[in-house]
Amino acid sequence: MEIIEKIKTNKSIDNQTEIQKICLDKLRSRPLPNPKSEQWRLANKSKFSNFLDYPVNEKNPKFDTPFPNTSKSTIRLVIGNNCQINLIEKNYSIQQLTQDELDKYIKSQIFCFDQNENWSDLLNLSLSNAKNILGLKINGSKIPPIEIFSHSSGNSLNAKTLVIFLEKNCDVELLQVNLGKENSSLSQLTYFCLEENSSLNHGVVSYGENRSNLLNSLKVIQQKNSEYNLGSLHFKFDYARFEISIKQSDGYAKTNIKGMQVTKKDEQISTYTKIEFNGPNGFLDQINKSLADDESHAIFEGSIIVPKIAQKTDASQLSRNLLLSNLAQIDTKPQLEIIADDVKCKHGATISQLNEDELFYMRSRGITLPEASKLQLSSYFQEIISFIPISKDRWDLLDKLLNEK
């Protein structure tokens, strides 16, 4: 935990920005999250401390994407690679947020941070320098699809921050890709602010290599009549943690989430979601799938909070899990906190293995066992993958999931 020691002694970062100073001050008083708190009690301690063992990366080496941009219409941005964008077209505009706008927004967020719940955010903002923060405001319609890459470089801890404002009536398809290099840590923090009537189809694909780590935090604020769709996939990380916080600030908004995490070997991947309805007539449909094989550990904790003001909320949350090996573990905790009385809320959770009857049926039709289980898995994955925008045409995620060792 080299970085924590440095934070404690205030030797971590040169040329601190104001935001870094505020966050470092907060971290110094309690540098680590409380391991007994609900959000952190299941985190694997040695893996978590591995995450913090790398030195902070100050430079950004050239980034070669493993996925060449073949489609000309797609806008591709790489956080940290001097990326500048200022597009003003007939139908739409994508502009960089000014430093003032960025600072103001981030400061307003830090103000309501909770030490345990927002620890990953604090760490990210403490470490991420101006070069690694990308702020965009998007306006208009018929916007070409956008891809935003975050990546870590080997033997270092990398922090990247993304802030995106979607202005009124705007409709965007955006894929975020987090790539972890071997022996590295990536801390990614993403803010989305969806103004009235805007809609975002958001995909998150986090794809690691051996012994790579990820802390991925996603904060979404939805104003009236906005729609937010999230399809996410996390796999091949030694340790990954995906924290989602969505706030429907005035109700009348729609949220759809389909997420999946796949763990193998001794990996630990966890997803924490918190969805707050701060107004009436909110809608949520969430499904989270986990698959745990070998000696791995998959965790899902989802909470839905419906205060008194959020009447006529319709929320459902489903956690479906496949446990494929004797040494793997799954923890799941879908929770509801409800005060409003005129609401429809439900949640469900299942943990099981591949269906024996289906396997038997396929085998009796001449399909071998490995093929039959692949077929079953592919239908299990397909529901989530088909929900991730853009990727479905060009990246064969399914193939990666099924065939990579």
Partner 1 sequence: MVKENLVKDVVKEPYKYGFVTDIETEKIAKGLNENIIKLISQKKEEPKYLLDFRLNAFKKWQKMKEPDWAGLGYKQIDYQDIIYYSAPKQKEKISSLDEVDPKLLETFDKLGIPLTEQKKLTNVAVDAVFDSVSIATTFREELAEHGVIFCSISEAVKNHSDLIEKYLGTVVPASDNYFAALNSAVFSDGSFVYIPKGVTCPMDLSSYFRINSGDSGQFERTLIIAEESSSVSYLEGCTAPMFDTNTLHAAVVELIALDDASIKYSTVQNWYAGDEEGIGGIFNFVTKRGKCLGKRSKISWSQVETGSAITWKYPSCLLLGEESVGEFYSVALTNNLQQADTGTKMIHIGPKTKSTIVSKGISAGNSINSYRGLVKMGTKAKGSRNYSQCDSMLIGDQASANTFPYIKSQQPNSEIEHEASTCRISEDQLFYLQSRGIEFEEAVSMMVSGFCRDVFNQLPMEFAAEADKLLALKLEGSVG
**Segment interacting with partner 1 (CB under 8 A) among 126-134, 210-218, 226-234, 333-341:** 333-341
CA distance 221 to 115: 20
Residue closer to partner 1, measured from CB, 83 or 324: 324
Task: Name the residue nearer to partner 1 (CB basis): 227 or 293.
Answer: 293
The binder of partner 1 chosen from 323, 385, 388, 401 (CB under 8 A): 323
Strand segments (E) across 133-183: 133-140, 146-151, 157-166, 171-179
Applying CB under 8 A, does 338 fall inside the site for partner 1?
A: yes
User: For residues 69 and 353, which CB has a smaller minimum distance to partner 1 in the complex?
Assistant: 353
Q: How far is the CB of 132 from partner 1 (least distance, A)?
A: 37
Out of 21, 30, 104, 344, point to the residue binding partner 1 (CB under 8 A): 344
- Choose which of 73, 108, 326, 403 interacts with partner 1 (CB under 8 A): 326
Taking the least distance from each CB to partner 1, the nearer of 341 and 357 is 341
Nearest distance in Å: CB 253, partner 1: 20
Stretch that binds partner 1, among 117-125, 257-265, 336-344, 392-400 (CB under 8 A): 336-344
For position 335 contacting partner 1 by CB under 8 A, the verdict is: yes
CA 28 – CA 7 distance, rounded (Å)? 6
Residue 341 makes contact with partner 1 by CB under 8 A:
yes
**Cβ atoms of 223 and 251 closer than 8 Å:** no
Query: Whose Cβ is closer to partner 1: residue 37's or residue 49's?
Result: 37
Task: Report 75-104 residues binding partner 1 (CB under 8 A).
Answer: none
Answer whether 155's CB lies under 8 Å from 127's CB: no
Taking the C-alpha atoms of residue 109 and residue 113, their distance in angstroms, rounded to an integer, is 7
Size of the site for partner 1 (CB under 8 A): 36
Considering beta carbons, is residue 212 or 290 the nearer one to partner 1? 290
CB 225 within 8 A of CB 255: no
Please state, in angstroms and rounded to a whole number, the distance separating the CA atoms of residues 376 and 370.
Answer: 10
Structure tokens at 356: 């024996």
* C-alpha span between 147 and 134 (Å, rounded): 13
Residues 33, 24: Cα–Cα separation, whole Å: 14
Q: Contact between 265 and partner 1 (CB under 8 A)?
A: no
CB 291 within 8 A of CB 322: yes
Q: Is 368 in the site for partner 1 (CB under 8 A)?
A: no
Q: Is residue 310 a contact point for partner 1 (CB under 8 A)? A: no
Q: Strand 133-140 and strand 92-96: pairing?
A: antiparallel
| Strand extents, DSSP E, 167-296 | 171-179, 184-194, 199-207, 212-222, 227-235, 239-248, 254-263, 268-277, 283-292
Does 261 contact partner 1 by CB under 8 A?
no
DSSP states along 315-362:
EEEEEEEEE-STT-EEEEEEEEEE--SS-EEEEEEEEE-S-HHHHHHH
| Token reading at 92 | 């739409």
Q: Give the x-and-dash track for 36-65 against partner 1 (CB under 8 A).
A: --x---------------------------
C-beta closer to partner 1: residue 30 or 346? 346
User: Which residue lies nearer to partner 1 by CB, 346 or 363?
Assistant: 346
- Using CB under 8 A as the binding rule, whether residue 403 contacts partner 1 is answered as no
- According to the binding rule CB under 8 A, does residue 329 interact with partner 1? yes
- Counted residue by residue, the chain has a size of 405
- At its nearest, how many Å lie between partner 1 and the CB of residue 303? 9
Which of 180, 203, 334, 389 binds partner 1 (CB under 8 A)? It is 334
Return the number of the residue (81 or 316) whose C-beta is nearest partner 1. Answer: 316
Cβ-contact 275, 306 below 8 angstroms = no
Q: Which residues bind partner 1 (CB under 8 A)?
A: 38, 308, 311, 319, 321, 323-353
